[in-house]
Amino acid sequence: MNAVNDMLRRFDSGDHDALFPLRVQGPTLYERLFGKRPHRSMLYRLAQVGRYGVKLVTVEDGSGRLLTSIRWLCEWAVAVSAARGRRKAVEPDSRPSGRRRHRAVRRPSEG
């Protein structure tokens, strides 16, 4: 929780729990936290699919707009950092990629 509070210090304390439209102000908030402006579709992808199994918390208003808060964005960033560390400890999938499987079928190895 300490990491979240460190990130929240970059913003006014009154805005931490206020809800902001993901499409309008989401890219600006993300840029202030991470230094790079994302494409707006990336924020929707983070809310719908997530990254490393962690989804960005959003709520939907009556008109269908997705809203998020600065606190939720900071909590998401901390959770993704933790999940990324856990993922590296997991054994990688030993199956070959689809492209390599396709090549093996097209050109059987000579033996």
**How would you write the pLDDT of the chain (111 residues) with one tens digit per residue?**
688 887 778 777 777 878 888 888 888 888 888 888 888 789 999 999 988 889 989 999 888 889 998 889 888 988 988 888 765 444 445 566 677 767 766 665 555
Instruction: Give the number of other CB atoms < 10 A from CB of residue 95.
Output: 8
Q: To 10 degrees, the CA torsion angle through 28, 17, 56, 85?
A: 100
All structural domains of the chain with their residue ranges: 2-92
Amino acid sitting at position 78: V
Q: Is the pTM of this model over 0.75?
A: no
Predicted pLDDT at 90: 41
User: How far is 68 from 23, CA to CA, in rounded Å?
Assistant: 10
Counting beta carbons within 10 angstroms of the beta carbon of residue 98, is it exposed (0 to 12), middle (13 to 18) or buried (19 or more)?
A: exposed
Length of the chain in terms of residues written: 111
What pLDDT was estimated at residue 92?
47
pLDDT attached to residue 1: 61
